[in-house]
Amino acid sequence: MKHLLIVGRPGVGKTTLMKRLVQSLRSRPIDGFLTEELREHEQRVGFWLSPLDGRQMLLAHRQLEGTAGHRVGPYRVNVSVLDDIAVPVIQRAMQHAFLLFLDELGKMELCSKRFEQAVQDAFDRGPTIIATAGVAPIPLLTTLKQRKDVELIPLSAANRAAVEEELTTRLQALCAEDEAVRALQQQADRICEMIVTGEALPIDIEIQQAALREDIARLFPEKQGLYQLLYESRFRRLWQQFRHG
């Protein structure tokens, strides 16, 4: 699946959409962060960086001290939060997550060169990314929008309900497929262990192989041919090495 870049104007509901997608996928292997408004007396005065692990750090504020030189509009940006929190979250997700949520990729977040590099690395070598961005021209976003592995999803007040429904369905299906693949791999690993240890009878191993074939045919009927290539050849090599070698 391509990376998803959700693009819309400020206030259209990008973060709200991301929150709802995250909530629908809480039991899945996801990681990332949200950028949430900080409001005082019904006025927006700053932004929180909220990793999905439950932490919350002050990313920007109108009266933030000690961050001279990092101003975006009326806000001063705490670049250390990006360097010390957001970057490790991205790096962790590249190792362990199936989906990486990045809300958002904007002028504030891109005050950090380390953050920008981490984002580029994640798009190149990381898991499937669901990111949000505004419509203002920013060099990194222009580059991301031109990538063939990035699908642009315009978000507006008129289509946000439909977009939420579509993305929820797509991401749930993608995660379910990933879980099925992991389960098949575990089955194959158990068969390999049975062959290597020599503790199972040949008939028991054949029963397990037949069960794996049936599961592949049921879950991925269009990919049954991969079984011969990926699994049976592996089992055959191990059998020759440990049972007849």
Instruction: Indicate the residue among 158, 190, 222 that finishes a domain.
Output: 158
pLDDT tens digits along 74-99: 999 999 999 999 999 999 999 999 99
**Shared domain check, 133 and 40:** yes
Answer whether residue 151 is part of any domain.
Answer: yes
Answer whether residue 139 is part of any domain.
Answer: yes
Cα dihedral 116, 99, 165, 46 sign: negative
Instruction: Judge whether residue 66 has pLDDT over 80.
Output: no
**Shared domain check, 187 and 102:** no
- Residue 55, phi then psi, degrees to nearest 5: -75, 165
**Shared domain check, 140 and 49:** yes
Domain of residue 228 covers 179-242
Answer whether residue 170 is part of any domain.
Answer: no
Instruction: Judge whether residue 209 has pLDDT over 60.
Output: yes
**Shared domain check, 31 and 92:** yes
Entry pTM: 0.85
**Shared domain check, 185 and 105:** no
Strand 3-7 to 150-154 pairing: parallel
State how far the Cα of 148 lies from the Cα of 126, in Å rounded to an integer. 16
**Shared domain check, 196 and 148:** no
Residue spans of beta strands (DSSP E) within 75-174: 75-77, 99-102, 128-133, 150-154
**Shared domain check, 115 and 207:** no
Instruction: Indicate the residue among 127, 158, 189 that finishes a domain.
Output: 158
pLDDT of 42: 87
For residues 208 and 192, is the Cβ–Cβ distance under 8 A? Answer: no
For residues 60 and 45, is the Cβ–Cβ distance under 8 A? Answer: no
CATH code of 39's domain: 3.40.50.300
pLDDT tens digits along 38-64: 999 889 999 999 999 999 999 999 988
Instruction: Judge whether residue 130 has pLDDT over 60.
Output: yes
**Shared domain check, 47 and 132:** yes
Answer whether residue 166 is part of any domain.
Answer: no
Answer whether residue 232 is part of any domain.
Answer: yes
Answer whether residue 115 is part of any domain.
Answer: yes
Answer whether residue 163 is part of any domain.
Answer: no
Instruction: Indicate the residue among 91, 125, 158 that finishes a domain.
Output: 158
What's the domain count of the chain? 2
